[in-house]
């Protein structure tokens, strides 16, 4: 019999290499190759009958729309696309201690009103879970608990009891007896997740999979797991903040990029129904370097404060730091500002912070970020009741973004009196209660606020 060959698998992209090397040839990351076994792939290729199969027409494959289960937490239902779908598998990622186990225990307790649920923990003892349930006030919910790390045992137990919902906390602690490598390695993660996915699809059990995030901010073996599951949810938070944002990075049953906002309290996570209220402090005073932006995350419009600080740095390379926003995009925007906004930022350190620990990836934040930088640079506040949105092009033009009217309507609702918007997003008819300044170029926006 041929000796079992080992392969080296990259823990960040999942590529396999026959030999170990310091750098992954596929994604270029360093020190990510781990020894694994090629056995599982060989087994599936050799096994099974490669003959004819029965097929189905598209019309007959549609099935009936099943009602979604409510997790009892409106914001979690929202990121899931309107509730939990049976037979779906969702990966929830986040830093340690951010509240993944707490949120799922609360959700499972609420789900028990409609279905049965099992919570499998590979990290905590059953007493610890019991103590937490008491703290959350859900100790009487009929949740089945299991402390186990062997995925075959979990699948067998879940199969026998046929629970509607299964939580596996966390995927990194699970191992499969089929694979010789240690728990937490890519081969194990892949095998355990594959078994759970198969189980979810065969039995219609909805599965939540908890995944830890590595220092680089990605779930270990992210690509490998992300394409296997139906939904990928990430926790985001500012260090020290009690607010948590959950973002759907992928969702086969709803809008991607949808966010849910929560507050961590001493009795568990509570949903925040009007998130704009936490990203804007109620007693804002006009201060240089602050601007309110209007962003659309998933299907919801949010008003968020952005702060900038421009500060003299006569020596050396000026620093450009963005928190909650993409670093490279900030550098690009500052270059546009210098060239087309007549603002000389060479020799200035520029720091940009999105308040409230939310990450903004939308280009609609370009204009407000530059206005905040301008305000800090000139040490002149932007009037408090002013909001802005708009994408900035490399030629210094202000480009339209989708859902302009909806954004302006949200600003009116929050009591803002003035909006700086792209010319193509100007409202068709004049709006009551808000002055809309439609600009075609960055210079126009800067002049309007000077």
Q: Which residues bind ligand TYD (CB under 6 A)?
A: 94, 96-102, 132, 135-136, 264, 266-268
Residue 135 or 250: which CB sits closer to ligand TYD?
Answer: 135
Contact 375, 291 (CB under 8 A): yes
Cα separation, 4 vs 266, in Å, equals: 52
Find the shortest distance in angstroms from Cβ 212 to Mg ion. 8
CA-wise closest residue to 384 among 411, 418, 432, 358: 418
Find the shortest distance in angstroms from Cβ 94 to ligand TYD. 6
Residue 101 or 185: which CB sits closer to Mg ion?
Answer: 101
Q: Which residue do the tokens 């049953």 mark?
A: 253
| Residues that bind Mg ion in the complex, under the rule CB under 5 A | 101
Residue 266 or 379: which CB sits closer to ligand TYD?
Answer: 266
Helix (H) or strand (E) holding 211: strand 206-212
Residue 232 or 292: which CB sits closer to ligand TYD?
Answer: 232
Q: Which does 135 bind (CB under 5 to 8 A by kind): ligand TYD, Mg ion, none?
A: ligand TYD
How close are the terminal C-alpha atoms of the chain, in Å?
A: 80
Find the shortest distance in angstroms from Cβ 132 to ligand TYD. 5
- Cis upstream peptide for 170 (omega within 30°): yes
Find the shortest distance in angstroms from Cβ 55 to ligand TYD. 43
Find the shortest distance in angstroms from Cβ 139 to ligand TYD. 12
Q: Which does 264 bind (CB under 5 to 8 A by kind): ligand TYD, Mg ion, none?
A: ligand TYD
DSSP labels for 139-167? TTS-EEEEE--BHHHHHHHHHHHT-SEEE
Residue 91 or 371: which CB sits closer to Mg ion?
Answer: 91
Q: Which does 278 bind (CB under 5 to 8 A by kind): ligand TYD, Mg ion, none?
A: none
Pairing mode, strands 259-265 and 243-251: antiparallel
Residue 26 or 148: which CB sits closer to ligand TYD?
Answer: 148
Q: Which does 96 bind (CB under 5 to 8 A by kind): Mg ion, ligand TYD, none?
A: ligand TYD
Q: Residue 73 burial by CB count (10 A; 0-12/13-18/19+): exposed, middle or buried?
A: buried
Cα separation, 223 vs 330, in Å, equals: 27
CB atoms within 10 A of CB 314: 7
Find the shortest distance in angstroms from Cβ 67 to ligand TYD. 28
């Amino acid at each position: 019999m041929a000796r079992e060959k080992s392969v080296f698998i990259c823990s960040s992209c999942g590529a396999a290499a026959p030999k170990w090397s310091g750098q992954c040839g596929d994604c270029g990351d360093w020190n990510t190759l781990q020894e694994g076994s090629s056995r599982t792939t060989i087994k599936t290729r050799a096994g099974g009958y490669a003959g004819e199969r029965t097929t189905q027409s598209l019309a007959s494959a549609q099935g009936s729309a099943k009602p979604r289960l409510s997790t009892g937490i409106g914001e979690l239902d929202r990121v899931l696309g309107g509730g939990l779908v049976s037979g779906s598998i969702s990966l929830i990622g986040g830093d340690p201690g951010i509240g993944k186990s707490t949120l799922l225990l609360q959700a499972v307790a609420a789900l028990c009103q409609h279905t049965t649920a099992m919570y499998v923990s590979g990290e905590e003892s059953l007493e610890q879970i019991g103590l937490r349930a008491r703290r959350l006030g859900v100790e009487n919910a009929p949740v089945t608990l299991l402390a186990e790390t062997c995925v075959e045992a979990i699948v067998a137990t879940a199969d026998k009891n046929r629970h509607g919902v299964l939580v596996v906390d966390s995927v990194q602690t699970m191992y499969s007896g089929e694979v010789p490598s240690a728990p937490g390695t890519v081969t194990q993660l892949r095998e355990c997740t594959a078994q759970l996915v198969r189980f979810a699809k065969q039995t219609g059990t909805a599965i939540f999979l908890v995944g830890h995030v590595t220092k680089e901010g990605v779930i270990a073996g992210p690509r490998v797991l992300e394409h296997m599951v139906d939904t990928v949810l990430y926790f985001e938070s500012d260090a020290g903040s009690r607010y948590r944002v959950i973002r759907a990075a992928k969702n086969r049953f709803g809008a991607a990029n949808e966010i849910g906002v929560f507050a961590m309290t001493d009795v568990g996570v509570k949903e925040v129904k009007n998130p704009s209220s936490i990203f804007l402090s109620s007693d804002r005073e006009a201060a240089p370097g602050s601007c309110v932006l209007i962003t659309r995350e998933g299907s919801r419009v949010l008003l968020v404060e952005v702060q900038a600080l421009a500060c003299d740095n006569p020596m050396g390379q000026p620093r450009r730091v963005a928190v909650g926003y993409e670093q490279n995009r900030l550098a690009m925007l500052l270059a546009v500002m210098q060239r087309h906004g007549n603002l000389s930022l060479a020799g200035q350190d520029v720091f940009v912070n999105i308040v409230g620990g939310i990450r903004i990836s939308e280009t609609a934040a370009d204009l407000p970020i530059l206005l905040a930088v301008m305000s800090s640079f000139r040490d002149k506040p932007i009037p408090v009741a002013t909001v802005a949105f708009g994408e900035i092009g490399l030629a210094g033009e202000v480009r339209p973004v989708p859902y302009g009217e909806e954004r302006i309507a949200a600003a009116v609702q929050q009591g803002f009196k003035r909006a700086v918007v792209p010319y193509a997003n100007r409202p068709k008819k004049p709006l009551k209660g808000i002055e809309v300044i439609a600009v075609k170029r960055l210079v126009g926006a800067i002049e309007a606020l000077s």
